[in-house]
A and B are shown apart, each in its own frame.
Chain A
Amino acid sequence: MPGMRDVEIRRRWVEVAIALAVLAFSLPVIIGYSLMILSSFSEKMVTGLDPASFQPTIQNWVLLFQGRTALFAGYRVDIWRIVLSTLTVALGISALVTLVGSLTGYAISRMKFAGRKHLMAFLILLHAFPGSVLVVGVAFIYRLFLPPYQYVHTYSFFFVILARASIEIPMATWLMKGFFDMIPWEIEWSAIVDGASRFRVWWKILLPMIKPGVAAVMLFGFLAGWMDLIYVRTFLAEPTLAVFIEHNANAEYAYLPLVAAAGTLYLLPTILFFLFAQRLIFTITVSGVKG
């Protein structure tokens, strides 16, 4: 018994040490975000550990929701329209990535066809390309399908969703393949014997069994759209929150506490994601790498 006790104590110490190390490495990030959130409620930017620099106010949030970009005068924006544009792009990408990712993931997991292995390798290769590298080519495609002038605004939304989703789809496909691989073939086989089509099996039987995976891909797709800057700035006819922050943060006369409020608003979906999706992340870690 004393021996076991020693082992338990040692484990606790190891756990404490790991926790402290993780905390130490995370501290700069935690401090950075904390200072930004504090600054959004302060008259001045809180950038140091000087408590005097925190001068509480909700003025920055009031200004942000009024669509103002400075204390005096300044340009007025429709902040809710910006949020709506950001949501449209993020939800559109999320839906498309989930739909295509789960269909292709299913096909690669379950069907034998010529070039399957090459396709899998090619998808990984596609994922290795950062979106910024592809911008010129993507702009060429934009021009190729350019509609008449009056439809450009709508087209820009469809195009950004398609272009940005296509960057996320390879990873989503691999994730979904991992989830489909976990389901025993017998389940699908018995449904097919009962007369169900492959599509019906995919929709009615397999997808409900991998809801966490679908939810995770959906969330990853949403965050990819929510945080994108290059594609939305280049191809979208409306600003998103990322573009709004970029245009107001980096100037000599920028009113930074207001930008901090916009940054905090921009951070909210990520925080919500973190709070609600921790278990899903662990599931993916276990299943997503299974080939």
Chain B
Amino acid sequence: MGRAVSKVAVAVAIVVIVAAVGAALYLTRPGAPEEVAKVELTGNLEQDIINVGKALQAAGISEVRYSVWSGGDPNSVMRVYGIVEAAARIMKIWGENGINVRISVDTNYYQKPDAVYQDFVSKWALNQAPDIMANGYVYIASLADEGYILDLTPYLSKYQDFLSDFYAPVLEAMKYNGKLYGIPQDTEARPIYISKEAAACAGIDLDDLAGKVKAGQFTWSDLFNMAKQAKEAGCVEWGLIHRKGSAHPDLIQFIYAFGGSLYDEDTGKLVLDKEAVYKWFTVERAFADAGLLPHDMMSWDWGKQIHPTVVNGDAFAFIGGVWHWTEWQTKAYYHDPQTGEDRGLRPEEVEAKFYYTLFPAGEPGKQPVTLSQPFAWVINSKAGYQNPDYDRLKDIYQKLAVLLVIKASDPDIIAIHSIISSHLPVTKAGAELLQDQGFVNDLPNLPTIRSDEVRNAISDIVERTANPINIEFLMNTTYMLEYTHFTPKHPQYPKLADLFADAIDKVLRGTMTPEEAVDYLVSKINADPDLKGAVEVVGEVPTGWQFPQS
């Protein structure tokens, strides 16, 4: 009896499961899409926002959902909150025009932008990638090649005024194969910071040093001699400190400073410029051999060694970035000798401690440089896919994603991000706002921010960073963009950068001479079929080249 009942129960269960699966398939079957009124972008942002809103409302949509991911230091959160704020502003416009559609934005912010990129790539095919991502422009090439992101060129054809407000080199970096795939979110320069206290202690005059660097009259040999002087006078423990781990991208400034190149526009290939790389390695080796640069520099810890050494005045020079200016104010790297506590520096203390200049020319006759790695908003080619009736309304959802990014480029959003994260503004309107005293004075109240979520997230850091010293720093470093170089937008570039890091570590530790390290790079490139096909090796290791030059 019991066995018979069990069999009936199993049979019923099978019938129920089959029926449920059948019903689910029937309910989710693709139907013939109904026609939806097409929305053409006109270049008038407010009008386009209204048109998209009306189209959504007419299609019976009351709520749309987007997701945005980004990453970086804790001060750069406007890379996701910019879209949240843009959504709030678009909803305000809709509300004023009788459009009752709500936008909700899911955010995700990692501390490592490369992890965001990896997750975007791995989750794209799983239909879990975000609609919008802010990340390094270097990823545009691989994302565009795979068809993961939208070509924005047709969407922005009527937005020439909007595009022309971006600094031209930064906007150019967003293009790949002649098409625009990203909208600039921020950019940066990588100054050399010099300890004013160490210079004063060693009797070194820093007056107009930045001008001499700009004119190419002050080279890395001069910096070496200064650092040596400061160390020999007992003013500092180290003459030079730089990043650890990856050589990407601070140290490759050396290649440009020695007139080298990393990318051949004509062939579309990466370049290993043996002469420039050899000179870079020779400079680092000379610093290390003179006891000015730690042999284990590439293994130092950022929080425990690199930043504390720099902010506590134990290094004469530091190859840093503009964002460090506020990072030193918001993180407790400084050990206050008066109170014994570890704390962030005050703006006036950062100003009193650090002189900043372009990355000097490698040798006489060469140019000073800096390096930028702009962040770009990119839009998923399936943007809006989380929303109802996607197949029918795909075009409208994608256009709304584009409008969200355009709105997130409002001058005040760019200016606020620049101030709190110490990145350089990407638009002229954003840069002008930084000089607007009224805007700066009102900033702690965040009068232009509509979203409470954004206000709550950034109010404390705005209070901490929005002051004349930081804004003056941004204004004083913006000129560096005229000297900027970019890392190549080549899918194989990250691999080459890792090889550079490996080689420089061997040079600093003394396990390879600079020449051996160059040969090592060539052999590593030849051993990897992908790299071998992607990199052309040019030039020769110079004979008899000396550093420092007298």
Question: Which residues of A are interface residues toward B (Cβ below 8 A)?
Answer: 43-44, 69-76, 139, 142-143, 146-152, 156, 195-197, 199-200, 233-235, 237, 239, 247-248, 250-256
* Interchain pairs with CB closer than 8 A, number: 103
Bound state CA distance, A43 and B420, in angstroms? 24
Task: Give which listed residue, A43, A149, A256, contacts B303 with CB less than 8 A.
Answer: A256
Q: Which of B189-238 contact A (CB under 8 A)?
A: none
CB pairs A–B below 8 angstroms (11 shown): A69-B74, A73-B75, A75-B107, A75-B109, A146-B127, A149-B387, A195-B1, A234-B123, A239-B108, A250-B112, A251-B73
Q: A70-B74, A252-B303 are in contact. Are A152 and B127 (CB under 8 A)?
A: yes
Name which residue of chain A comes closest to B116, CB basis: A247
B158 proximal to A (CB < 8 A): no
Q: A72-B460, A73-B75, A254-B303 are in contact. Are A143 and B126 (CB under 8 A)?
A: yes
Contacts of A75 in B (CB 8 A): 74, 77, 80, 107, 109, 457
Contacts of B73 in A (CB 8 A): 251, 253
Contacts of B303 in A (CB 8 A): 252-254, 256
Which are the 10 A-B pairs with shortest beta-carbon distances? Answer: A70-B74, A73-B461, A251-B111, A252-B302, A75-B109, A74-B74, A247-B110, A197-B2, A72-B330, A253-B73
Task: Give which listed residue, A71, A76, A147, contacts B28 with CB less than 8 A.
Answer: A147
The answer to whether B2 touches A72, judged by C-beta atoms less than 8 angstroms apart, is: no
The answer to whether B2 touches A149, judged by C-beta atoms less than 8 angstroms apart, is: no
Contacts of B107 in A (CB 8 A): 75
The answer to whether B331 touches A253, judged by C-beta atoms less than 8 angstroms apart, is: yes
Bound state CA distance, A164 and B76, in angstroms? 35
CB distance from A249 to the nearest CB of B (A): 8
Contacts of A152 in B (CB 8 A): 126-128, 386
Contacts of A74 in B (CB 8 A): 74, 77, 457
Name which residue of chain A comes closest to B30, CB basis: A148
Task: Give which listed residue, B1, B111, B126, B453, contacts A235 with CB less than 8 A.
Answer: B126
Contacts of B539 in A (CB 8 A): none
6 additional A-B residue pairs with CB within 8 Å, beyond A72-B464, A142-B126, A254-B111: A73-B330, A76-B453, A149-B390, A234-B123, A250-B112, A253-B331
B122 proximal to A (CB < 8 A): yes
Bound state CA distance, A151 and B388, in angstroms? 11
Contacts of A237 in B (CB 8 A): 128
Name which residue of chain A comes closest to B460, CB basis: A72
B119 proximal to A (CB < 8 A): yes
Task: Give which listed residue, B75, B112, B115, B127, contacts A149 with CB less than 8 A.
Answer: B127
The answer to whether B112 touches A251, judged by C-beta atoms less than 8 angstroms apart, is: yes
Name which residue of chain B comes closest to A156, CB basis: B128
Q: A74-B74, A233-B119, A253-B74 are in contact. Are A196 and B2 (CB under 8 A)?
A: yes
Contacts of B122 in A (CB 8 A): 234
The answer to whether B74 touches A255, judged by C-beta atoms less than 8 angstroms apart, is: yes
Q: A73-B457, A149-B386 are in contact. Are A199 and B77 (CB under 8 A)?
A: no
Contact with A along B102-126 (1 / 0, CB 8 A): 0000011111100100010011011
Bound state CA distance, A261 and B51, in angstroms? 48
The answer to whether A150 touches B388, judged by C-beta atoms less than 8 angstroms apart, is: yes
Contact with A along B79-114 (1 / 0, CB 8 A): 010000000000000000000000000011111100
Bound state CA distance, A73 and B223, in angstroms? 36
Contacts of A247 in B (CB 8 A): 110-112, 115
Contacts of B264 in A (CB 8 A): none
B327 proximal to A (CB < 8 A): yes
User: Which of A248, A253, A255 is the most central at the interface, judged by chain B CB atoms within 10 Å of its CB?
Assistant: A253
Q: Which of B422-459 contact A (CB under 8 A)?
A: 453, 456-458
Bound state CA distance, A61 and B93, in angstroms? 40
Contacts of A234 in B (CB 8 A): 122-123, 126
The answer to whether A253 touches B302, judged by C-beta atoms less than 8 angstroms apart, is: yes
Contact-size category for B:
35 or more
Contacts of A139 in B (CB 8 A): 125-126
The answer to whether B327 touches A253, judged by C-beta atoms less than 8 angstroms apart, is: yes
Bound state CA distance, A75 and B457, in angstroms? 7
CB distance from B345 to the nearest CB of A (A): 13
B472 proximal to A (CB < 8 A): no
Bound state CA distance, A9 and B425, in angstroms? 78
The answer to whether B460 touches A73, judged by C-beta atoms less than 8 angstroms apart, is: yes
The answer to whether B464 touches A248, judged by C-beta atoms less than 8 angstroms apart, is: no
Bound state CA distance, A139 and B125, in angstroms? 9
The answer to whether B28 touches A72, judged by C-beta atoms less than 8 angstroms apart, is: no
CB distance from A259 to the nearest CB of B (A): 10
CB distance from B522 to the nearest CB of A (A): 30
Contacts of B74 in A (CB 8 A): 69-70, 72-75, 253, 255
User: Which of B123, B127, B420 is the most central at the interface, judged by chain A CB atoms within 10 Å of its CB?
Assistant: B127
CB distance from B17 to the nearest CB of A (A): 15
Bound state CA distance, A248 and B72, in angstroms? 10
The answer to whether A73 touches B77, judged by C-beta atoms less than 8 angstroms apart, is: yes
B342 proximal to A (CB < 8 A): yes
Contact with A along B381-396 (1 / 0, CB 8 A): 0000111101000000
Task: Give which listed residue, A149, A156, A199, contacts B6 with CB less than 8 A.
Answer: A199
CB distance from A65 to the nearest CB of B (A): 15
CB distance from B456 to the nearest CB of A (A): 7
CB distance from A193 to the nearest CB of B (A): 12
Name which residue of chain B comes closest to A236, CB basis: B128
Bound state CA distance, A52 and B91, in angstroms? 52
CB distance from A101 to the nearest CB of B (A): 20
Bound state CA distance, A197 and B4, in angstroms? 9
CB distance from A253 to the nearest CB of B (A): 5
Bound state CA distance, A226 and B385, in angstroms? 30
Bound state CA distance, A156 and B123, in angstroms? 11
Name which residue of chain A comes closest to B461, CB basis: A73
Bound state CA distance, A254 and B307, in angstroms? 13
Q: Which of B291-346 contact A (CB under 8 A)?
A: 302-303, 327, 330-332, 342
The answer to whether B112 touches A200, judged by C-beta atoms less than 8 angstroms apart, is: no
Name which residue of chain A comes closest to B463, CB basis: A72
CB distance from A8 to the nearest CB of B (A): 52
User: Which of A73, A74, A143, A200 is the most central at the interface, judged by chain B CB atoms within 10 Å of its CB?
Assistant: A73
Bound state CA distance, A66 and B123, in angstroms? 28
Contacts of B75 in A (CB 8 A): 72-73
Bound state CA distance, A90 and B80, in angstroms? 30
Bound state CA distance, A109 and B33, in angstroms? 55
Task: Give which listed residue, B5, B331, B388, B457, contacts A71 with CB less than 8 A.
Answer: B331
Q: Which of B1-39 contact A (CB under 8 A)?
A: 1-3, 5-6, 28
User: Which of A75, A142, A152 is the most central at the interface, judged by chain B CB atoms within 10 Å of its CB?
Assistant: A75
Name which residue of chain A comes closest to B421, CB basis: A73
Name which residue of chain B comes closest to A248, CB basis: B111
